[in-house]
Amino acid sequence: MAAGRAIDPFWSMYQQHKTDQVAEMLEEYRIGNLSKEDAAKIQSEMASDPYALDPTRNPLLIRRALKPFNAETPAELLSQNLVTPNDLFYIRNHLPVPYIEESKYALTITSESLEKPIVLTLDDLRNKFKQHSVMAAIQCAGNRRDDFNKQKEVKGLTWDVGAIGNAVWSGPKLRDILMWAGVDPESPELMHVHFEGLDKDFEKNYAASIPIDKAMSPAGDVILALQMNGEEIPIDHGFPVRAVVPGVVGARNVKWLGKVHVSKDESKGHWQQLDYKGFSPDADWRSLDFNSAPAIQELPVQSAITHIKPESDVISIKGYAWSGGGRGIVRVDVSTDGGKTWQVAELEKPNQRPGRVWGWTLWTLNIPLEQMKDKEQLSIVAKAIDESYNVQPDGTPGLWNLRGVLNNAWHKREVKVNDK
Amino acid sequence: MAAGRAIDPFWSMYQQHKTDQVAEMLEEYRIGNLSKEDAAKIQSEMASDPYALDPTRNPLLIRRALKPFNAETPAELLSQNLVTPNDLFYIRNHLPVPYIEESKYALTITSESLEKPIVLTLDDLRNKFKQHSVMAAIQCAGNRRDDFNKQKEVKGLTWDVGAIGNAVWSGPKLRDILMWAGVDPESPELMHVHFEGLDKDFEKNYAASIPIDKAMSPAGDVILALQMNGEEIPIDHGFPVRAVVPGVVGARNVKWLGKVHVSKDESKGHWQQLDYKGFSPDADWRSLDFNSAPAIQELPVQSAITHIKPESDVISIKGYAWSGGGRGIVRVDVSTDGGKTWQVAELEKPNQRPGRVWGWTLWTLNIPLEQMKDKEQLSIVAKAIDESYNVQPDGTPGLWNLRGVLNNAWHKREVKVNDK
């Protein structure tokens, strides 16, 4: 991106690359060192930080990167409520947070099939269309990446089990807006709906797309959310408008939505074409062909253990379970012996129609302390089963991939019984 | 079912229960023995075999039960064509095959929301509605059950990898017929569409149901098939009409369709309520609560190895891969070392729209013999990944269930290199 010009502004934009590993890789390209005077001059120019307008965040969030800001919810807090509180919801930003004045906000809708762009204000989005509320979990493709690192290091931000949250999103349906705009869902020329965020680097805005069938199906429940859990969407979650695509990976739930474009082609954006794709365990960076894998859309069945605590006469084990594509959770199996024997957990499910279960399910299993008294160590394992009877795979070796996405292996936690 | 009357006719109907194991279980109920004369009399009464009208079958099919007839396709033949020939398609009958005269055939449509039943003839089905052709694989929930038996015995017919096939089904869309009949897909009173087969025991016809969203969605592609691969549907596959529910377990693709009923409730049929459900590995027959599990509808991602053969300078490995719910296959990983390292197979995919990929995918991996020359044994493993990035689970232990359904673990075949 910086070819032919100064690289410094890019260093301030993508600060996640300021690591020893990258410095080491760059060492062989060193052609000299700046004089002290020149270095000081550069330093003062770089003082204009593109992240200066980022909002303050709840200190309980576990920071994974500061610029851009990435932080996850502590595991224990995830299973306290079916709905995740706004200030505890994980934050996965790719760029500086854009500062958007409500009165100046405009959503532009374009399509190869429309003669001219359509512009909607916030009031239009609030008043012109029926408002809907949809409970939907949003999960980052990198959730649980850290378990891959334990096997073999991957490239990507470290995430434990907290890069997921469940909220009620309210606003107009994207389908209603596009139908009103004159987009024909049956047109063979229209296959993808693009979302462009108002967050950007020097040239490009964050961009992604979803298949038109998901956008236009009445059962797809895609909304342009103006509210999160009954409040204005917080700045970190896309104020004033976020595309919420239930059942689909976080990367397509575009925040600070500025533009919707309906096209024959998929988005050419970096995060659609060159990231958020799954590869075979033995694919390597040298021979990697990004075109060989489809962009991640619906996510596979997932669960995690978030809480293991002794109570009066039981050990209480809790967690969440969720699957992409509206496939509700039908069962969560929990083992205390590493997967040799299984018990069925109790489920707290969202009240949603089969095939449109976008919210997650919380689960609990209470194990009598008496059952545990002869054991020194518990190897607790959880696996979820969804409406299509997809079951989480057993281990990470078959799932490992160089970018560390899509880890949905059985979740394991070792607990020493003396420690409990 | 036979309570209070003679059990003999039931023995001829459900001959799959005539096993040593069942005889042993019944031994404790013996109250005496028939005289030779009485035994002979009974014998002659039982000569009227309800299976007498069953058609002849291709001798290549591997017989798993004769009455009712159950047989699978030999593995090697499955991967020869994207479309499985009619006479090689697996047969899973639950009851004697009904003999249906074309001119007397009638399909009855009823609903709690319709004033009176609607009756359609075969000509109505052929001419009143637009005809559609849909390529769809149909798989029995018990496909690959035999791998469960290797771990611990399950109750059910033995199936290797051949209880699946892929065909092109043609006929009117169920949605068009129900809309024409006046069924309102938005009615909150209507949740399930029942299918009743003309195959029956003494009291009840084969019956099953699917969710109304699947039946009524334009993207659901449910058809009442009059043809299979361009020919009249063969008697064993439902002549003259079979409900084809793409992406959904075979048990809901009801053959010899006699009745469609749209209802608030799920079918009360035996095969909907007391069979074709998935349970946790440690569930046992004594404490089993069938109400605790949903009826299987969409199936999980699946693959199998069907062919391992040396050719001039390679070993050619082939198989099929498929997933329920229209989720196309995006990758098949193949290992020759039991899952330590993986190579990506070449895919032959059906040409269908993402999210509506009902046909299966065939795959091939050619491994140079040179790579194999130092090895005595190959442990070949296949796993498929679908559009939602669901991956097959690693092993059977986490999937095992007392009825032996839903085995979609990595498929493994051990090959001695000397034997090839």
Contacts of A406 in chain B (CB under 8 A): 389
- Specify whether A88 is located in the same domain as A221: yes
Nearest to A393 among B330, B341, B393 (CB): B393
- Specify whether B279 is located in the same domain as B331: no
- Specify whether B169 is located in the same domain as B315: no
Nearest to A390 among B217, B344, B390 (CB): B390
- Specify whether B259 is located in the same domain as B340: no
Residue A306: give its domain's CATH number. Answer: 2.60.40.650
Contacts of A340 in chain B (CB under 8 A): 397
DSSP labels for B228-293? ETTEEPPGGGTTT-EEE-TTB-GGGS-SSEEEEEEESS----HHHHSSSB---TT--GGG--GGGS
- Specify whether B38 is located in the same domain as B152: no
Nearest to A300 among B333, B391, B408 (CB): B391
The answer to the question of residue B57 being in a domain is no
Sequence-distant (6+) residues with CB within 8 A of A286 are none
Residue B29, domain extent: 8-45
- Specify whether B226 is located in the same domain as B341: no
Contacts of A344 in chain B (CB under 8 A): 280, 283, 292
The answer to the question of residue B55 being in a domain is no
Distance between CA atoms of residues A299 and B299, nearest Å = 16
Distance between CA atoms of residues B344 and A288, nearest Å = 12
Query: Domain boundary at A233, A267, A292, which?
Result: A292
The answer to the question of residue A14 being in a domain is no
- Specify whether B327 is located in the same domain as B179: no
The answer to the question of residue A42 being in a domain is no
The answer to the question of residue B1 being in a domain is no
- Specify whether A240 is located in the same domain as A344: no
- Ranges of residues in chain B with a pLDDT under 50 are 419-420
List pLDDT tens digits, range B55-102.
Answer: 999 999 999 999 999 999 999 999 999 999 999 999 999 999 999 999
pLDDT value at residue A16: 78
- The percent of chain B in helix, strand and coil, each rounded to the nearest 5, is 20, 30, 50
Contacts of B213 in chain A (CB under 8 A): 219, 353-355
Give the gap in angstroms from C-alpha B174 to the nearest C-alpha of chain A.
Answer: 19
Q: Contact at 8 Å (CB) between B387 and B330?
A: yes
Distance between CA atoms of residues A238 and A197, nearest Å = 9
Distance between CA atoms of residues B154 and B341, nearest Å = 32
Counting one residue from chain A and one from chain B, the pairs whose CB atoms sit within 8 A come to: 131
Q: Contact at 8 Å (CB) between A172 and A223?
A: yes
Residue of B nearest to A409 (CA): B393
Query: Domain boundary at A270, A292, A314, which?
Result: A292
ipTM passes above 0.85: yes
The answer to the question of residue A283 being in a domain is yes
- Specify whether A83 is located in the same domain as A154: yes
Nearest to B278 among A211, A389, A408 (CB): A389
- Ranges of residues in chain A with a pLDDT under 70 are 1, 5, 9, 45-47, 418-420
Give the gap in angstroms from C-alpha B390 to the nearest C-alpha of chain A.
Answer: 5
- Specify whether A260 is located in the same domain as A343: no
List pLDDT tens digits, range A263-304.
Answer: 999 999 999 999 999 999 999 999 899 999 999 999 999 999
Query: Domain boundary at A238, A259, A292, which?
Result: A292
pLDDT value at residue B420: 45
- Specify whether B281 is located in the same domain as B359: no
Residue A185: give its domain's CATH number. Answer: 3.90.420.10
Alpha helix segments (H runs only) across A242-311: 270-273
Stated pTM of the model:
0.91
pLDDT value at residue A62: 97
pLDDT value at residue B336: 96
- Taking CB atoms and an 8 Å limit, are A219 and B217 in contact across chains? yes
Give the gap in angstroms from C-alpha A213 to the nearest C-alpha of chain B.
Answer: 8
The answer to the question of residue A380 being in a domain is yes
Give the gap in angstroms from C-alpha A393 to the nearest C-alpha of chain B.
Answer: 4
Tokens matching residue B104? 């007397």
- Specify whether A223 is located in the same domain as A321: no
- Taking CB atoms and an 8 Å limit, are A398 and B341 in contact across chains? no
Contacts of B330 in chain A (CB under 8 A): 278, 293-294
pLDDT value at residue A23: 86
In chain A, how many domains are there?
A: 2
pLDDT value at residue A1: 64
The answer to the question of residue B173 being in a domain is yes
pLDDT value at residue B53: 84
